[in-house]
Structure formats: C-alpha cells, structure tokens
Structure 1
C-alpha cells in the first residue's frame, strides 16, 4: 500500500505523539484520549493507558466492543482487512506488539489497531473512523498516522503539541489539568513526589490584555494567584545599545524568589512550594503572550525551568 504524501501536523499529548493530516483540524482532548477529524468525516479516536499488569488482548477487544454499544463488532479476521493494512507484529522490542482489526458500532465503522509495549506499560487503541467502505487511500492515510504513533514514557522528556503550542517538559511532571477558553489555554502539570508544579499559558490578543499596563505589571497580576507578589516580574536584560548602556526588553519579563509558608502549613509540617520562578513574553509578531510559572519546595527542583521556557513556543505547522 502506498503511503499518501499529504501535509501533516504534529500532535503530542500526555505521553504519546503522532502526525495527522493537516486537514484534520477538529480535535478533542482528554487526559488519556484524543479525537481528531476532518470535514469529510474521516478521523481518529485514540485512547491509551500505562500499566504493569499482564496484557490480555482478547479481554481488551471485548471491552472495546462493549464500549462501542449494542450490536458493535471488532473483527481481527485478516480476510476483512484491506491489503497491506497494519500487519500484526508480536514482541517487537523497539515498537511493541501490534494487532489490527476492523470495527463497527453505533457511530459508524472503520479500521483500528491495538499497540502494547511491555517495557513502558503503554497500551494504545487507535480507532480510525471512515465515512464509508475502506478505500485504498483512506486505509493508506490511516496506516501513515498509525506508523507515526510514538511513545514518550515518563522516564525521559515528554513533548506536548496542541492548542497552538509546543513544549517539552521533564517526564516526572504529570498532567493535572488543562483548560481552553477563547484567548487562553493553560496546561498544568505536577510532580507528586517532589511537590513541584508547572503551568504553561498561551494568551491573546496581547494588546487587548495589556491595555495600558506594562508586561511586568500584567504578569504580576496574572500569576498573583500562584504566589507572584507585586513587583515579582521585571523586564529581562537585552543586548547593550550602540552606546554600551545596559538595556532591558519590555517584551520579556521574568521573576524568581521565595515565599514563606503560611502558619497552618508550618504547624502541620506540610510541604510548601516556597521557591518560585516565572516568565512571560510576547511572540507571534507580538500578538500572543506565552507564560510559564513553576513552584517547588526547593530551589534545586526548579533547575529545568530555563530549558522548559527555551522549548516552549507557538506551534507553527
């Protein structure tokens, strides 16, 4: 089967990444699931989890059929699969085991595959939605998406690419929440064993948000709820001018400091994220604000902050 050469975009979410056709522009995300679809009805429902339990393919497919509703079917018969569609593989050390299937349920039908990697505990179920009988080019598109599926376990850097942003964070930071409202996307992560937490924000339009305030004043207010006191943010240094005088960059502000624990936290001896670091900057021809704010009990736990900010950017397909 020939893999179609169609424009692609990169998605990365909570430990997995893949490339999908750029025309698949309608996406929905959950903690361990994503759905993406194009206007022609073709799309993907991807769900995954990590577990160290023994994997039972038959039980997994039975649960999938049950979740699809009454009368649904999941079929592994090679005779019903399109030619060249995702040949089964068992025990591949690098990519895990993969089992293809066809499915039919209340919301239509299509192709699918289960991927399992015992070394990382990943089990992913990719269910491709096809608007009609599986044509060769539809099957080829689905196969190209499936081949691009990659695993990013928490023992290494984890990429994120969605909602117009791209980031790379340490694997020990787990997803806690995310929100998307007009003009604001926030990704919140935390490391439960160290008490460290991180938020990444994308905001716009910048001029409307700032109004008559400086970027430093706005950042103080915006991150005040996370413990940034007034005056926490200041303009970042910029290269010296022609006269050699030091300058600052009004489009990039940062802050670092410590906040003492409240009395109740001290009495109960609860861990308190006393160390704080933050940054906010204009990007996208100045129309968008990106922000990062990180807290931890120890200053040493904030060491990845500079690399996180360096890799945090608008996602340009």
Structure 2
C-alpha cells in the first residue's frame, strides 16, 4: 500500500477509473474518459481510458496509441531508460491485476523523454493510457509515483464511486455519463442506462442565496420547472433527505404503461432534496424515465451522495 493510500488523500473517481491524488493536485481538464492533473507548477499526470472487449493485446494497442500521439509528441517504446520510481509504480499496479507496457514520450519542445504507460485491467475490461510529467525534485517524483500506484479500474457489474471537486456518490455501474458541468455554485452530472432511466445529480450553493428564505420543497418547485411537483407525494428519505415523487405503477399496470407511446405515458419521477455541508449546499437527486432503477437503488444513491 502506498503512502497516499494510507493517508486521507482524496480519491478521484470518474467513469470507472480512480486514484488517490496528493494535496495540491487538481483535475484541471476533465472529459468523460480523460483527466489531466496539475499543481501550482504545471501538469503532473494525464490519464485516458476506454472499455475493452474480448482479447486485448497490449503491443497492438500500444502501436495504435503511438501513431495517434506522434501527431503531437515523439513516442518510443524501447531503447529509453525510464525513472526507477515510475517503473516501480507500474510493478505495484501489476499486483492489483493490471498488465503494463511502459513507453517514453517527448513533447513538441523535445527537451526530455517523459515516462508513460499503457495499462490493461482484464477484470474490469478497461485500458488506460498514462502520460506522466516528472520533476527534478526527488520528493515530487516520489509523489507522482505514489499517486500512479493507487490507480484502479472498476467493472460495470458493481456500484462505482464518483468523486470529484468535493462531491462523492456511489452509482450503479450500469449508468453511463451523458453530460456534466462544474460551474461555481452549480455542479451537475447527468446519467442514462439501457432502460432509459434518466438520473441527474446536482449540487448548488451557497444554499442561503438559492433558497432566499424558502423551504427546500418551495425552492424545488421553481427550480425543477420540467416536472410538476404540485401533485407530488412527499416522504422522508434516508439521512435527512426529503423525497418528492410521482411513483411508477407496479406489476401488470407498470408493464402496460411502459409500452405506451411517450405522448400518452404519464410523467413519473422521484426527487431527493437535502441540505449538506452544515446546510451551506443543496444536494438533489432526480430520477425519471419509463421505469425506475431497481428497488432500493435510489435510496442507496441518496445515502452515499455527500459533500467531502
């Protein structure tokens, strides 16, 4: 176990990929399948990942990655000496089910060969290409290697952690990220699955400016204009969550309603509301679609959704 994993270093987790990040590192570039971490001195680590199917040959995919990267950077897979700390981090990853193929890459300036690696995690069916940005200071190289050694990939057949920018939640692995936005005062992540379940998580704050003296339910009626909350059924959820919903019909009637054309199908939803972080933030979980997530899934999402 690395020093980072043994401490309270925050864990970045996104779309099936995660790692502990040192203090001062921030995900300054974030896409559905990519992250670049930087600190006050510039880039530290880039990671891009994708699902794989069937037999996966590292050598073949490394050659493909090399051809793509050569457009912007020199790329070599042999004949280059890589930092011992970086190679040690790859060896530690192999103890957690990864296979690794290291390479060296050089930026457009061509000043130095930087370490990189193509990783494959067979259990989760995910491949990751890593580009590292080492520093001259030995302690910063140790920090980089320790962070890399904590990288993990997570399969879709289990719940996955999502943790970024101070919010954290566990979601079913069957959900796919559709869109996301992290603007000051308003974070939003939107997910779908094959059953067309539509799940949206939001974090808003400061809460007092959003609420303006109103209750959470009153605020929600104005904020969620696409759903009619006036006829919603209200209940108390787990851990201080308030739940407003128009439930899905069950059994035979539920099956019939899901087959109706969209224009005839009544809108069904479940909306969770909670004040968090000493009541300075508003957390919301909204589920819509022809059919809900399995029983208990919505409650588990609400229980795990928090400001950290």
Q: Structure 2 length normalisation: TM-score?
A: 0.82
SS across alignment from 1:98: strand
Q: Which residue of 1 aligns with 2:18?
A: 17
Q: Which residue of 2 aligns with 1:303?
A: 296
Q: Are the aligned partners of 2:66 and 2:75 in contact in 1 as well (CA < 8 Å)?
A: yes
Q: Are the aligned partners of 1:110 and 1:128 in contact in 2 as well (CA < 8 Å)?
A: yes
Q: Which residue of 1 aligns with 2:232?
A: 232
1:178-189 aligned at under 5 Å gives the runs 178-189=180-191
SS across alignment from 1:285: coil
1:159 and 2:152 aligned: no
Deviations 1:102-134 (A, max 9, x none): 21122775222211123332100111123x5x5
Q: Which residue of 2 aligns with 1:312?
A: 305
Q: Which residue of 2 aligns with 1:116?
A: 120
After TM superposition, give the deviation of residue 71 of structure 1 in Å: 7.1
How far apart in 2 are the matches of 1:307 and 1:16? 21
SS across alignment from 1:301: coil
How far apart in 2 are the matches of 1:111 and 1:161? 26
Deviations 1:14-48 (A, max 9, x none): 01110111211252210111111001124111000
SS across alignment from 1:85: helix
How far apart in 2 are the matches of 1:274 and 1:301? 18
Q: Which residue of 2 aligns with 1:257?
A: 246
Q: Count the aligned residue pairs.
A: 296
Structure with higher helix content: 2
1:222 and 2:219 aligned: no
Deviates more, 1:251-260 or 1:113-122: 251-260
Deviations 1:213-247 (A, max 9, x none): 2211111222232x242253747489xxxxxxxxx
How far apart in 1 are the matches of 2:207 and 2:267? 30
Q: Structure 1 length normalisation: TM-score?
A: 0.80
How far apart in 1 are the matches of 2:237 and 2:60? 59
Q: Are the aligned partners of 1:20 and 1:145 in contact in 2 as well (CA < 8 Å)?
A: yes
SS across alignment from 1:207: helix
How far apart in 2 are the matches of 1:138 and 1:73? 24
Q: Are the aligned partners of 1:280 and 1:290 in contact in 2 as well (CA < 8 Å)?
A: yes
Structure 1 pair 270–69 and aligned structure 2 pair: CA distance change class (3 A): farther
Structure 1 pair 78–9 and aligned structure 2 pair: CA distance change class (3 A): farther
Alignment RMSD (CA, Å): 3.4
1:71-82 aligned at under 5 Å gives the runs 72-77=73-78, 80-82=81-83
SS across alignment from 1:21: coil
How far apart in 2 are the matches of 1:216 and 1:293? 13
Q: Which residue of 2 aligns with 1:199?
A: 200
Question: In the alignment, which of 261, 270, 279 is matched to residue 286 of structure 1?
Answer: 279
SS across alignment from 1:124: strand
Deviates more, 1:107-116 or 1:28-37: 107-116
How far apart in 2 are the matches of 1:96 and 1:283? 37
Structure 1 pair 237–270 and aligned structure 2 pair: CA distance change class (3 A): closer
Structure 1, gaps ≥5 residues long: 239-248
Q: Are the aligned partners of 2:119 and 2:128 in contact in 1 as well (CA < 8 Å)?
A: yes
Deviations 1:115-160 (A, max 9, x none): 1123332100111123x5x554333222211210111111001100
